[in-house]
Structure 1
Amino acid sequence: MLEGRDWVGVNGAAQEVLSRLQVVAPNGLPQRYLDLLAFSDGGEGPLPIQPYNLCLDAAATVADAIESENHGQADLQGFLIFGSNGGGEYIAFDTRDVLPWPVVTIDMVAGGSSAEAIAPDFDVFLDQIGVEAASV
């Protein structure tokens, strides 16, 4: 799935874990997101767009966060966090929007009000995973 790209992955998620995620998540999880988790249930790689790195959360971690309502942070309602940049920014689906959901970054301190779109949908975002930013 990410052949030829800079990606440090792990074994894919078990079908039971992916099924649990689909049950607890809002309807509309992108198939390519689920395919990525089936390929690599977590991992890390560069992005050529802000925030320049993706630390992909495991499917069970995402499901647990949904069940705990984003760890009780009310200002994150409407966002489905599926990773971070490893340095202070969440990477999430903005489920407040219509399908297909945009992918956004959220400053971990500022919360939901800081959400900024980085891709119009997961398909566009997936094409960026494992690709280094061009040198200036």
Structure 2
Amino acid sequence: MLETRNWFAKQPASEGELAEIRHALPTTLPLAYFDLLAETNGGEGPLPVNPYNFCLDPVVTVLDAFRSRNYDRPDLDGFLVFGGDGSRELIAFDMRSGLPGAIVTIDMVVGPESAEIVASNFDQFVSMLGHSSEDYRRL
């Protein structure tokens, strides 16, 4: 999936980690999310849109955030955080409708009112991973 892109991959998630996260998280999440973790359990690379960098959280971090309700931040209810930009932006599934919708970036200081769509769905998001804005225009 990411082998031909500018992506710093981590080791794949173990079968145990994948089983644990599949059991803990909503069953409505796209299979492509679990496929990504099976390829790289964490990692970093460019995005062609704001916030222009993506750091994928490993399974353990996603589970900690999910179980703690985004580290006891009730203002982030309805978002399933699975990464960030390496600085102050979170990247999350927008789950406010009950189903995973758009992938959004959220400023950690401003909160959910800063939510900005990065991709309309996870498949579109994955297609952008590892591409700079220049690369993506050529695709």
- TM-score interval, normalised by the smaller of the two chains: over 0.9
Tell me the alpha carbon deviations over residues 85-123 of structure 1, each in whole angstroms, 9 at most, x when there is no partner. 012100000011364521000001011121111111000
Runs of 4+ in 1 over 6 A off after TM superposition: none
1:11 equivalent in structure 2? 11
Judge which range, 37-46 or 22-31, deviates more.
Answer: 22-31
**What's the counterpart of residue 56 of structure 2?**
56
Q: Counterparts in 2 of 1:36-51, with a 5 A limit?
A: 36-51=36-51
* Further displaced range: 24-33 or 51-60: 24-33
Structure 1 unaligned segments of length 5 or more: list them: none
Structure 2 distance, partners of 1:82, 1:58, is 8
Q: How many residues are treated as equivalent by the alignment?
A: 135
CA distance in 2 between partners of 1:101 and 1:63 (Å): 20
SS at match of 1:134: helix
Distance 1:96 1:19 in 2: 25
Name the counterpart of 1:28.
28
The CA RMSD over aligned residues, in Å, is 1.3
Identity score, percent? 48
TM-score, length basis structure 2: 0.92
Residue pair 1:75, 1:113 contacting (<8 A) in 2 also = no
Secondary structure of 2:106's counterpart equals strand
Aligned to 2:82: 82
Over 3 Å counting, the alpha-carbon distance change for 1:93 and 1:118 in structure 2 is same
Normalising by the residue count of structure 1, what TM-score does the alignment of the two structures yield? 0.94
Q: In structure 1, how many angstroms separate the alpha carbons of the residues matched to 2:19 and 2:79?
A: 20
